[in-house]
Amino acid sequence: MGDPTTIQTRELAPARSAWHVAIVRPETMTFLLLIFGMIGASYLSPFFLDINYILRSFTLTAEMSIVALVLTMVIISGEIDLSPAANMALSACIFAWAQSVGTPIYLAVVLALITGLAMGALNAFMSIRMQLPSIIVTIGTLIFFRGLAQVIAGDRSIRVPDSFIGINTIMIAGIPLPVVIFFAVAIILGFVLGATIIGRQIYQIGTNQEAALHAGINSKRIKVGLFLLLGLVSAAAGVMAVSRLGSVRYDLVLGGELQMVLMAMLGGTYIFGGRGTILGTFLAAWLLVIVSTGMTVANLLPAIQLTVLGILLIIAIIATNFIYSRTQR
């Protein structure tokens, strides 16, 4: 039986105020960083005060940002996938190759999406069915998918028909189509994760899988579904990237897995699962656009930019771990 004094002290402990709860949320921190980032970037170039310039800049990373939204759900469930960028490259190469041999566009798109699903299924089978660590599995499939992309494309660029090029030039209410798609995916996934039974189950699985199992939650089925969804969305993002660029090489979005994970971590997704929001990743995607574009405007070398992103990832992991450990007290 516990000490009555201790129990009374706990009962009388003052509840945290609403503003305190809000200010220590990772999403709040990300939003503040976004505001400060925009202010700082505006000193580098006045173009950062132009919403159209920011929207055009975002189209350069819209595909990875869309994938990062789904990756957030995978990480919340307690797993991780480092192969989406390689999935994008392989799916895009298969789409472009199919086009080059005369396959109709719609069939080439279907082929690319099926390829993405197959890659997601492979990750799911090894991570969930075979119960191998997903981080090890997806490092292996990352290399495997990227290698297959190089086998298909070689060291050349595969061009697609002009009629398929220009997704970033399509405007809806003055907003580029890739940005509109990003908003739509964020809203849909945000609703699923925050307002549905499946969303609550994803959080429960990531927090305590054994307890979720005792509660009757089929964690394996949900995780397999998330890996399949990530594979499908990655393939669709790869096709979008081909439309934006007009051609594809095997090294499409090479290193993009770092930026995708960084978006999730900067948005407050807990690396060990059970915590995170789509809103956080949504805000982090815009923050990374400001940071990356700002470094480009400042003429920083690509190696330095990659170093900065790596440092940001380390800081994000440490910060989220600190915030969540404090809120659990």
* DSSP one-letter string for 100-157: HTT--HHHHHHHHHHHHHHHHHHHHIIIIIS---HHHHHHHHHHHHHHHHHHHHTTSP
Output the pTM of the full model. Answer: 0.90
* Ramachandran category for residue 25: left, alpha or beta (phi over 0 → left; psi -120 to 50 → alpha): beta
Triad 300, 306, 310: Cα angle to 5°: 130
Per residue of the chain (329 residues), give pLDDT as tens. 445 444 444 444 455 555 545 556 778 888 888 888 888 888 877 878 788 889 999 999 999 999 999 999 999 999 999 999 999 999 999 999 999 999 999 999 999 999 999 999 999 999 999 999 999 999 999 999 999 999 999 999 999 999 999 999 999 999 999 999 999 999 999 999 999 999 999 999 999 999 999 999 999 999 999 999 999 999 999 999 999 999 999 999 998 998 999 999 999 999 899 999 999 999 999 999 998 888 888 888 888 888 888 888 888 888 777 777 766 54
Gap between the terminal Cα atoms of the chain: 21
- Which long-range CB contacts under 8 A does 179-187 form with residues at least 24 apart? 179/55, 179/58, 179/59, 179/62, 181/62, 181/66, 181/240, 182/58, 182/62, 182/65, 182/66, 182/69, 182/285, 185/66, 185/69, 185/70, 185/233, 186/69, 186/278, 186/279, 186/281, 186/282
Q: Which domains, and CATH codes, for the chain?
A: 21-327 (1.10.3470)
Q: Are 305 and 295 in contact (CB under 8 A)?
A: yes
* Ramachandran category for residue 254: left, alpha or beta (phi over 0 → left; psi -120 to 50 → alpha): beta
CA distance 281 to 293: 18
pLDDT at 205: 97
Q: CA–CA distance from 8 to each of 17, 73, 156 (Å)?
A: 20, 39, 72
DSSP 253: T
Q: Are 93 and 118 in contact (CB under 8 A)?
A: no
pLDDT at 40: 84
Phi, psi of 274 (to 5 degrees): 90, -15
